[in-house]
Structure 1
Amino acid sequence: MKRKASLTKRPSKKRKQLYTAPLHKRRKILTAPLAPALAEKEGVKQLVVRKGDTIRIRKGSFKGIEGEVSKVDYRAMRLTVEGVTFEKTDGSAQHFPVRACNCEIINLKNMRDKGRKAVVERRLPLEEEELEEEVVEESS
């Protein structure tokens, strides 16, 4: 019996899926965990990173720096953050690309956005009242 290609466990095949993924799927992969206080407030542990979100870098040489996301590059799977720069040999400053998994979101830019709000509401666990209503409907 033939299996779906996405059900593989082999690391080499998983890496290949990541590198050859189309941009609309790379966007969903580019997620970062929310800070503990924000995660408790929103009710989800991680979200897709968007331009304008405020993040804190958790790993690497820029660890601890907080800044606003200035660009999200889905092709390279990297973010650029204001304040995270390095100096080139000619003296000019260049943004340093950071992986989303090495950051945590500390402030969301626009939670009033319908799409983002829908994602959060879809992931929230059902309330006890809603569960009771479903049980009553099923028993009828």
Structure 2
Amino acid sequence: MKFNPAVSRDSGKNRKQHFNAPSHERRRIMSAPLTKELRAKHGIRSIPIRVDDEVIVMRGRHRGNTGRVIRCYRKKFVIHVDKITREKGNGSTVHIGIHPSKVRFG
């Protein structure tokens, strides 16, 4: 049973709301969890990520790497960390986009 009639359970509608969200709502969606020490100190579980935050990658190929957030790309729901790059075919390096839920404040 639905408790709030104003909230839809339709997955298609939820996806549409997510991907058509305005920038101020995307900021809230792009939150990252805090470490246990920071969580105990501040009494909050996660906060929106910003440029110049120190983060630790928790999932994927780059797990365990730490770095500083250099860009929050709200349109694609990704962040770019300064030390996480890959080499393109022409030899130049580009930053790899990581979803904020896959990192932790460090």
Q: TM-score under structure 2 normalisation?
A: 0.91
CA radius of gyration, larger in: 1
Instruction: Show structure 2 runs of 5+ residues with no match.
Output: none
Aligned match of 1:69: 69
Give the structure with the higher percent helix: 1
Deviation sequence 1:79-108 (CA, Å, 0-9, x none): 0001010010111110000000111111xx
Structure 1 stretches lacking a partner, 5+ long: 107-140
Distance apart, 1:11 and its partner CA? 2.1
Structure 1: distance between partners of 2:82 and 2:11? 34
Aligned length: 102
TM-score, normalised relative to structure 1: 0.70
- CA deviation after TM superposition for structure 1 residue 39, in Å: 1.0
**RCO higher in 1 or 2 (8 Å CA, sep ≥ 6)?**
2
- Correspondence list, 1:34-73, <5 A: 34-73=34-73
Runs of 4+ in 1 over 3 A off after TM superposition: none
DSSP 3-state at the match of 1:55:
strand
RMSD: 1.0
Amino-acid identity (%): 28
